[in-house]
Amino acid sequence: MKQRSYLALEGVTVEFPTKAGKFCALDHIDLNIEKGQFVALIGHSGCGKSTLLNAVAGLNKPTKGVIFLDGEVVDRPGPDRAVVFQDHSLLPWLTVEENVALAVSKTAQGKSKAEQKDWVMHNLELVQMTHAATKRPAEISGGMKQRVGIARAIAMQPRVLLMDEPFGALDALTRAALQDVVMELQARLNNTVMMITHDVDEAVLLADRVVMMTNGPAARIGEDLMVDLPRPRQRLSVIDLPAYGAARSGVIHFLHERYRNPAQAA
Amino acid sequence: MASLPETQITPAPVAAAAVILPYPETAIARRFFPPMPQATHPLLVKLQGFASTVLPTAFMLAFLLAFWSLACGPDSALPGPAKVWEESHEVILHPFKGVEFHGLVPDIQDGGDVGIGAHIMKSLARVLKGYALSAVIGVALGMLVGTNKYAFRALDPLFQVLRTVPPLAWLPISLAIFQQAGPSAIFLIFITAIWPIIMNTAVGVQNIPVQYRNVAKVLALNPAEYFLRIVLPACVPHMFTGLRIGVGMSWLAIVAAEMVQGGTGIGFFIWDSYNSSLLSDTIVALVWIGMVGFALDRIVGLIGRLIARS
């Protein structure tokens, strides 16, 4: 029998019941992700990227097919698949530190209070947010909130880090700063990551592999592109490499030639 | 590609255009600088702010008083402000007749003849008991109805019907249940105040944003943690909206409640002054009720804000 990948999606189909009958969002998705691999999912709006990510997170159940993580079947949400939500989803009544601490308290069982606090502060330091530890989410900027969102997720030491369009709501400069944070974290921690994005440059810059999805309904994986760039990456040293341009143009051709935005094609 | 003939390329007249024209002196003279306003004293600024918030209310009050005294002449059935003062200045000036304060704890003399402030305190004590009951039970029921859809389906129709019953209509029933004036007065306040508390708490729980639920799922919070860390804090604003409406309703019910419980309380005071045709005393009591109700609303609102912040 063949060895399963670290994260393996086998024939995942997701259908939603609607008034007009079943709506098939994803159609038999097979995807194998190795440990430590950074995968970007890209595709037009409504192609089911979020549905796929939520299925891995356990937030919605596939109608057919199975998801394996490290040989175990994924059937419910859990802290081993931490999610960085698009809207950060920090709890507004907790401070930055408490938000991360809540996640740590659920994943660091057996550690003392002091160790847990150190771990919280360590993770805030990784995203350069220790200065705002006692602030409420409402008191910090959007980019800072998302830094905290990332800190909360990595503090859980997940087996897979899921990022649902994490920088979609940020301006271009803040987004670049956060991409740098993610690159740095990836160099240090070498997490297995699945990230949804709309941004071609973001996908190519961050990911080892860009998975492109066809337009929904019944979306499938259209193309699977390996990004052959050295790690650790630095924005300025990779953007001029030929491999960067090749990957970028490959994704753009897919998105704008082979599978054009359904809204524009109509 | 063939090169273009040289004649077609004309150099742009850079040198001619690059002359910097000075801004004409006359134009500078024409510009108008408004004189700088004199710096206002910070205290004066504060005073202005204060005046702009307080004066409208003060004018409104003055206007109402003037209208009232014009509308109710010396011979009208409803006494005007001058007549109220004339007949009831004893009541207005000595609200705490028959009350001794030991520190902050009031000791109200037994037997009828006490000031209006003493009646208010008696009423407040009753309202507090009834309201505290309705707050605790109302929040608990609201949480139940908000989290469990079967509890919602079972109980919501009942709540919707019962909440429209006015306090006075409960009076015979509460007397029949409790046989005694004291507990039935408190029950009356309880049953009046509880509905908005249940409704708003339930809405608060039902409207917890899906993001927070997802966070709870990803963190795999157990039910107790989910309740304490997510549900309770997330529905504090709605809960306190209900508690604020509830405190107003419970204060509204006091007159009805104290018609049962004779002897003391602001409701009894009104009933008594009406029976002895002292309409001006009733007017004074109305002002007191309004002020205390306003204060109660503000206090609950303040507590809500303090809790939401912590």
Q: Is B214 on the interface with A (CB under 8 A)?
A: yes
**Same domain for A174 and A261:** yes
pLDDT in tens, B225-282: 998 899 989 999 999 999 999 999 999 888 878 876 667 888 888 888 888 888 888 8
ipTM attached to this prediction: 0.87
Range of the domain at A136: 90-157
Chain B positions touching A76 (Cβ under 8 A) are: 220
**Same domain for A200 and A133:** no
Q: Cβ of B229 and A102 within 8 Å?
A: yes
Give the nearest chain B residue to A102 (CA atoms).
B219
Q: Which residue has the tokens 């057919």?
A: A64
Residue A65 belongs to a domain: yes
Q: Cβ of A106 and B220 within 8 Å?
A: yes
Domains of chain B listed by start with CATH number = 118-265+292-309 (1.10.3720.10)
Residue A100 belongs to a domain: yes
Residue A85 belongs to a domain: no
CA distance B59 to B49: 16
Chain A positions touching B229 (Cβ under 8 A) are: 91, 102
Cβ neighbours for A176, distance < 8 A, ≥ 6 positions apart: A235
Residue A170 belongs to a domain: yes
**Same domain for A73 and A176:** yes
Q: The sheet that has A160-164: what strands, in order across it? A: A81-84, A160-164, A193-197, A38-42, A209-213, A221-226
Backbone angles phi, psi at A129, to 5 degrees: -125, 15
| The pLDDT of residue A238 | 86
Residue A1 belongs to a domain: no
| The pLDDT of residue A72 | 87
**Same domain for A72 and A142:** no
Q: Is B229 on the interface with A (CB under 8 A)?
A: yes
Q: Is B307 on the interface with A (CB under 8 A)?
A: no
Cβ neighbours for A124, distance < 8 A, ≥ 6 positions apart: A96, A97, A100, A130, A133, A148, A151
CATH number of the domain to which A209 belongs:
3.40.50.300
Which of A87, A91, A100, A163 would best serve as a mutation to test chain B binding (most B beta carbons within 10 A)? Answer: A91
B232 to chain A nearest CA, in Å?
11
**Same domain for A131 and A153:** yes
| The pLDDT of residue A46 | 78
**Same domain for A130 and A112:** yes
Q: Is B237 on the interface with A (CB under 8 A)?
A: no
Q: Cβ of A81 and B218 within 8 Å?
A: yes
When CB atoms are compared, the residue of A89, A93, A156 closest to B214 is A89
Q: Is B212 on the interface with A (CB under 8 A)?
A: yes
Nearest to A226 by CA among A216, A240, A212: A212
| The pLDDT of residue A15 | 86
Chain A positions touching B234 (Cβ under 8 A) are: 93
What is the Cα gyration radius of chain A?
A: 19
Final residue of a structural domain among A110, A127, A157: A157
When CB atoms are compared, the residue of B212, B218, B236 closest to A91 is B212
Angle between helices B181-206 and B116-147 (to 10 degrees): 40
When CB atoms are compared, the residue of A76, A85, A106 closest to B214 is A85
Q: What burial class does residue A44 get, using C-beta atoms within 10 Å of its C-beta: 0-12 exposed, 13-18 middle, 19+ buried?
A: buried
Q: Is B228 on the interface with A (CB under 8 A)?
A: no
Final residue of a structural domain among A135, A157, A179: A157
Residue A2 belongs to a domain: no
| The pLDDT of residue B204 | 93
CA A249 to chain CA centroid, nearest Å: 22
**Same domain for A167 and A49:** yes
Residue A171 belongs to a domain: yes
Residue A73 belongs to a domain: yes
**Same domain for A113 and A48:** no
B305 to chain A nearest CA, in Å?
12
Final residue of a structural domain among A137, A157, A177: A157
**Same domain for A216 and A151:** no
**Same domain for A252 and A179:** yes
**Same domain for A63 and A167:** yes
Q: Cβ of B233 and A102 within 8 Å?
A: no
When CB atoms are compared, the residue of A59, A76, A102 closest to B219 is A102
Query: What ranges in chain B are assigned the alpha helix state H?
Result: 14-17, 25-30, 42-71, 81-93, 116-147, 149-162, 167-178, 181-206, 210-218, 223-225, 232-234, 236-252, 254-260, 266-275, 279-309
Amino acid at B93: L
**Same domain for A251 and A169:** yes
Q: Cβ of B220 and A77 within 8 Å?
A: yes
Q: Which parts of chain B register pLDDT below 70? A: 1-17, 103-105, 109-113, 260-262, 310
Q: Is B230 on the interface with A (CB under 8 A)?
A: yes
Maximum CA extent, chain B: 118
pLDDT tens sequence for chain A (266 residues): 567 889 989 888 888 888 887 888 888 889 999 998 999 999 888 788 888 999 999 998 888 889 999 888 888 898 999 999 988 899 999 999 999 999 999 887 788 889 999 999 999 999 989 999 999 999 999 899 999 999 999 999 999 999 999 888 888 888 999 999 999 888 888 889 999 998 899 999 999 999 998 887 788 888 888 888 888 888 888 888 888 888 998 889 888 887 777 665 54
Chain A positions touching B208 (Cβ under 8 A) are: none
Which of B213, B219, B225 would best serve as a mutation to test chain A binding (most A beta carbons within 10 A)? Answer: B219
- Work out how many domains chain A is built from and give that number: 2
Q: Cβ of A82 and B220 within 8 Å?
A: no
Q: Cβ of B220 and A87 within 8 Å?
A: no
